[in-house]
Amino acid sequence: MRIRRNIITIQLVTLFSIFCESVAVGFTVDQFNHAKLIRKEDLPGFKQSKTVSVLYYYKEDNPKHRSFFHEYDKSAEYLGLYDLKLGVVNCKDPANSDVDRCTEDKTDALVYTYSNGNELLALEIETMFDVNSMMSNILQLALLREVPILQSKEERENFVNKHKGTHDVVFSFQKAIGTYEHRIFMEVAYAFHHKFQFAISTATEAVTGLIPHPEILDEAKVWFLMCSQVINKEDDCFIKFYDDKMDLSSLASFMRKLDTPPNFDIPGDGITHPYTPDLGLHLVYLFYRESTYVHHVKCLLLLMCKAAFITVNVEATLPEAVGLDDFPPNTPAVAVQYKSEKNLVHMTEAWSIDSAFEFFASKLHEYEVRPREQEGQGVGDVMGDEVEGQTYPEGELEEKDRYSEEIETEDDQVAEAIQRARKIKMDLELVERLTDKTFTPTIQERDLVFTLFYLPFDHRSLAILRAYGEAARKFENQTDRPFTVVNCHDWTDVCATENITRYPVLKIYEQGKFLKDYDGMLSIEDVMNAYKLLKQEKPVSLADKEEIEKFFTGILPDGSNITGTVSVVALFDDQNKGVQTYKEVARSLGDKFTFGINSDGQGKDFAQKSGCGDLPCVVILRRNDLVQPYVTFSGDLTSAEELSSFIEKSLNPSLAELTPSILPQLYKQNRPFVISFVDDTESSRQLLEPIQSLVKAQAYPDLIFCLLQSGDINSFGRQILQTYQNSTSSSVPALSYAHLREGKVYNYLDKSFTKDQIEAWLKDIQNQNIDDKTLFLLKDGTYKPRIQGYHFLEFIKENEEMKKKSQGRKVDPDVHAANVHGIGFDSEGNEVDPRNQDNKKEETVDDSEIRRELIELQKSRLYHHAEGKHKPSHRKPEDHSDTPRHTPESIPPTPETGGSGYPAPEDTSPSSEGSTPSPPKKTIIHDDL
């Protein structure tokens, strides 16, 4: 569907271009400046290109095609740098009258591609409507073997497995072939395809396992998979996600960093390292002696692309040889050199892998968020008060830096996420905004109303407001639209009347009266389920055995499915006193569960099957619990409090999978966790069998049994397991007993998972008769703000002083609007459409210099470092040159394995499926391989 919408958009753009061009001046074939005019006798030679050549057969000046003519000529200029030739055959020339394509109908609606004399594909010009679509399509065609298109998870996994131990993989999801992002990716792939294995996909299925929710993916993404160092095919590749801008400059810079060695040893690899200042990398130094070298310290490579890792053998080299005054007295020792500074910052804590990692992470964090006045020189010291050609009133730059958005949100992850998502417009079209005049009538006129009370500057309010709007969109085709909001910044009297003292708050009103505060998860699905549950009868009357049986299988008497995964059914006889209590509980919890009831004794058989024995019987049905699909209440049916408590505790499965939504509910029970770390293998199933038996037997009611998916090496579950076992080489399946309140974790070390052994292990822990080798103590952290707070009284004084200084000075209107209304708003307080801003930026971007660098990189491979390494920036010995020596070597063309892993066939004719053959190419020999 998304691709179809893209096609419709493309067609609309094309139609608009046709309309605009229809009134333009005529176009002649002589106006092609970069696309070469090909004569009849030159056609065979032009088609013999070793890469890909492109031809357009020009017949006449068609106003509908004028936009294409200009874009085709512009693409010829860029693609010529990649040795890809774009030509034009003038079919109006009498000398070309017998050229085959010139005599065919509709030839001028197609672009033809050739390689080694063979015709490849004919591309419709409707899909080649601008430079982006032309360059991306042609580069994809030229590199089809080097950059295969993988459209399923299996294809991607097979591709990655094939290159484990040999190559690193760069994989990208693209919205469609022919977009700007696709073009950028293909240009970078052209420069680096001999060093890395590239692949793309336009199917969200192919990115399953790389992101949590691939089905909602709607923009281009890039992942870097470090597979070259993987020894066993069963091991996973470490994955680095590209999170910068999707433009040529940023992606090229990212790839250049990947193209440097992640670790450099001094003097083992030389005296001078290859990490030049233009790469923009922090440097992490590990000083060691042979007797203290810790091999697994290379876990710090997780910081790849943010820092380079340098090991220095202090016994085999001198400090001055690497530009230092002295080495640390004790080893191992760690130091950091920021990318823009000369001096090293040394770690003073006691050495350990964890402390080294935490040291660098904290120092990098401080560097990224520290105010400018802490950097030695303020902005004013270096540049005065002029930045990017704009003049600001005195002191305004310092004000901007002090209120930096990055600093503002640093201690609040919700605020940080909202700040990142600010450019994505909220969908609040179907959410009714209530005022002091409309609030009361709306509540009174409707049967059921949900009202969200929020503040527009509160980050949590904005986070919930976005999900709330998406939930309202689900009722687009219904006349009943229950979701409303009240902005408490604008309508303080309404919020005061409703006693709103915290934000955000979601209140439910029924038949003109306040019903309750919604206290469930504020997600789209949960809010929608609450509305559906409140709309139905509480409890649902089950008239006969057939309706009771259907309810047990998840179907209501009207034939609809029960909302949610948990429901409650009560089976009574006429004389039981608990009926009224049950109805009271059903009304109280009616926004969380579906309640059913039969009170004439027809549920006796079902009560016996559920383990009640006789009536009355209350059963909690859990359809997603494979271990205990139902539990029965055995307490006092006349106690609403006892029954409510039992039902709410029975919400979670008996062997729950830990997720962010379920963890808080389990954690507040203050019971130890028994966590099974599993994946989808048979060995994990063997672990779960005895665990399920223990759960069914209810032998340990004081423990919470749960499981955590940990198959992916980069998953949250695997990170927890590695922490609990204090090892980066942990494997699944695994079992841990975690008492989070006490900070104690016991790890099951036996390789055999049987019920008796696991039960004996649990009893030893509870009896405190356990080997301390299995115990891991969680770190007792101190939770405090990572940055200093603001002294607002001082700010007020400074603001008054700045106002006096700035009176009479001209202030940039955009800056003034940002100060008054916030970043991203105009002078009227209206939010600026980010798409318009992006378009303006794209118009001014000139990638020509970056493109030339990439092309030179592909031709000469400038980045090998066997000789002439670069000195550290902090100090440069006089007797070494920091100029790199580049000696590219080439070998006569030989058959070579293509990017997909299959040898290029000698016959270069296109296959029946239209795949592009891989042309012969030169093999580059690298000094560093």
**Secondary structure (DSSP) of 456-485:** TT-HHHHHHHHHHHHHHHTTTT-S---EEE
Question: Between 920 and 168, whose confidence is greater?
Answer: 168
Q: What percent of the chain has pLDDT over 90?
A: 14
pLDDT score of 451 more than 90? yes
* Cis bond upstream, residue 267 (ω within 30): yes
- Number of other CB atoms surrounding residue 767 within 10 Å: 8
Cβ(127)–Cβ(178) below 8 Å: yes
Per-residue pLDDT, 857: 54
Mean local confidence (pLDDT), 56-73: 87
Distance CA 344, CA 351 (A): 17
Q: How confident is the model at residue 372 (pLDDT cuts 50, 70, 90)?
A: very low
Per-residue pLDDT, 293: 60
pLDDT digits (tens, 9 = 90+) for 386-438: 333 333 333 333 333 333 334 355 556 677 777 766 667 788 888 999 999 99
Across 321-335, 574-588, 750-764, the highest mean pLDDT is recorded for: 750-764
Q: What percent of the chain has pLDDT over 70?
A: 73
Can you give 383-425 as a three-state secondary structure string?
Answer: HCCEECCEECCCCHHHHHHHCCHHHHCCCCHHHHHHHHCCCCC
**Secondary structure (DSSP) of 146-174:** TS-B--SHHHHHHHHHHTTTT--EEEEE-
pLDDT digits (tens, 9 = 90+) for 793-802: 776 777 777 7
Per-residue pLDDT, 90: 92
Per-residue pLDDT, 879: 43
Distance CA 679, CA 64 (A): 57
- Number of other CB atoms surrounding residue 614 within 10 Å: 10
pLDDT score of 784 more than 50? yes
Cβ(253)–Cβ(184) below 8 Å: no
Mean local confidence (pLDDT), 47-54: 88
Distance CA 675, CA 357 (A): 26
Question: Between 900 and 741, whose confidence is greater?
Answer: 741
* CA of residue 723 relative to chain centroid, distance: 23
Q: Which tokens in the block code for residue 476?
A: 């687009």
Q: How confident is the model at residue 915 (pLDDT cuts 50, 70, 90)?
A: very low
At 271, which helix (H) or strand (E)?
none
Per-residue pLDDT, 839: 45
Backbone angles phi, psi at 852, to 5 degrees: -65, -40
Per-residue pLDDT, 782: 61
At 178, which helix (H) or strand (E)?
none
Distance CA 852, CA 863 (A): 15
Cβ(186)–Cβ(238) below 8 Å: no
674 CB-contact burial (10 Å; exposed 0-12 / middle 13-18 / buried 19+): buried
- Number of other CB atoms surrounding residue 643 within 10 Å: 25
pLDDT digits (tens, 9 = 90+) for 875-884: 334 444 333 3
Distance CA 750, CA 877 (A): 56
Per-residue pLDDT, 321: 79
Backbone angles phi, psi at 576, to 5 degrees: -70, 140
Distance CA 413, CA 46 (A): 58
pLDDT score of 66 more than 50? yes
Q: Which of 327-341, 508-522, 673-687 is the least confident region?
A: 327-341
User: Taking the complete model, does pTM exceed 0.85, yes or no?
Assistant: no
Cβ(683)–Cβ(733) below 8 Å: yes
Pick from 539, 540, 538, 545: nearest CA to 600: 545
Q: Which tokens in the block code for residue 230?
A: 């993987």
Give the pairing of strands 390-391 and 386-387: antiparallel
Cβ(78)–Cβ(36) below 8 Å: no
Mean local confidence (pLDDT), 887-907: 34
Per-residue pLDDT, 58: 92
pLDDT score of 773 more than 60? yes
C-alpha radius of gyration, the chain, whole number: 34
Q: How confident is the model at residue 811 (pLDDT cuts 50, 70, 90)?
A: low
- Rounded mean pLDDT of the chain? 75
* 3 state SS of 809: coil
For residue 716, the one-letter residue type is: F
At 282, which helix (H) or strand (E)?
strand 282-288
Per-residue pLDDT, 67: 83
Per-residue pLDDT, 218: 79
Q: How confident is the model at residue 336 (pLDDT cuts 50, 70, 90)?
A: confident
Per-residue pLDDT, 788: 60
Q: Which tokens in the block code for residue 605?
A: 């058989």
Per-residue pLDDT, 291: 65
Cβ(703)–Cβ(656) below 8 Å: no
Distance CA 750, CA 757 (A): 9
pLDDT score of 596 more than 70? yes
Distance CA 434, CA 468 (A): 15
Q: Which tokens in the block code for residue 180?
A: 């700007």
Q: How confident is the model at residue 469 (pLDDT cuts 50, 70, 90)?
A: confident
Across 281-295, 399-413, 692-706, 845-859, the highest mean pLDDT is recorded for: 692-706
Pick from 46, 81, 9, 211: nearest CA to 851: 81
Q: Which tokens in the block code for residue 854?
A: 């990439």
pLDDT digits (tens, 9 = 90+) for 70-105: 889 999 988 888 888 899 999 999 998 888 889 888
Helix 578-588, helix 640-649: angle, nearest 10 = 50
Tokens 């470092």 locate to 865
pLDDT score of 855 more than 90? no
pLDDT digits (tens, 9 = 90+) for 24-42: 457 888 888 889 999 989 9
Cβ(389)–Cβ(436) below 8 Å: no
190 Cβ contact partners less than 8 Å away, ≥ 6 residues apart: 82, 139, 142, 143, 854, 855, 858
pLDDT digits (tens, 9 = 90+) for 524-565: 788 888 888 888 888 999 988 898 888 988 889 888 888 888
Helix 131-142, helix 180-192: angle, nearest 10 = 40
- Number of other CB atoms surrounding residue 205 within 10 Å: 15
- Number of other CB atoms surrounding residue 858 within 10 Å: 18
CA angle at 547 for the pair 546 and 548, rounded to the nearest 5°: 90
pLDDT score of 929 more than 50? no
Residue 706, strand partner residues: 656, 675
Q: Which of 121-130, 339-348, 464-473 is the least confident region?
A: 339-348
Q: How confident is the model at residue 660 (pLDDT cuts 50, 70, 90)?
A: confident
Cβ(430)–Cβ(472) below 8 Å: yes
pLDDT digits (tens, 9 = 90+) for 605-650: 888 888 787 888 899 888 878 788 888 888 888 888 889 888 887 7
Q: Give the largest CA-CA distance in the chain.
A: 105
Backbone angles phi, psi at 256, to 5 degrees: -65, -35
Distance CA 148, CA 523 (A): 38
Distance CA 249, CA 145 (A): 25
Mean local confidence (pLDDT), 329-340: 78
Cβ(706)–Cβ(671) below 8 Å: no
* 3 state SS of 811: coil
CA atoms within 13 A on the CB side of 74: 14
**Secondary structure (DSSP) of 742-806:** TTEEEE---S---HHHHHHHHHHHHTT---GGGEEEPP------SS----HHHHHHHHHHHHHHH
Mean local confidence (pLDDT), 349-374: 61
Distance CA 303, CA 580 (A): 62
Q: How confident is the model at residue 495 (pLDDT cuts 50, 70, 90)?
A: very high
* 3 state SS of 437: coil
Mean local confidence (pLDDT), 785-809: 66
Distance CA 603, CA 572 (A): 7
Q: Which DSSP category does 449 fall into?
A: E
CA atoms within 13 A on the CB side of 390: 12
- The total number of residues written for the chain in this structure: 929
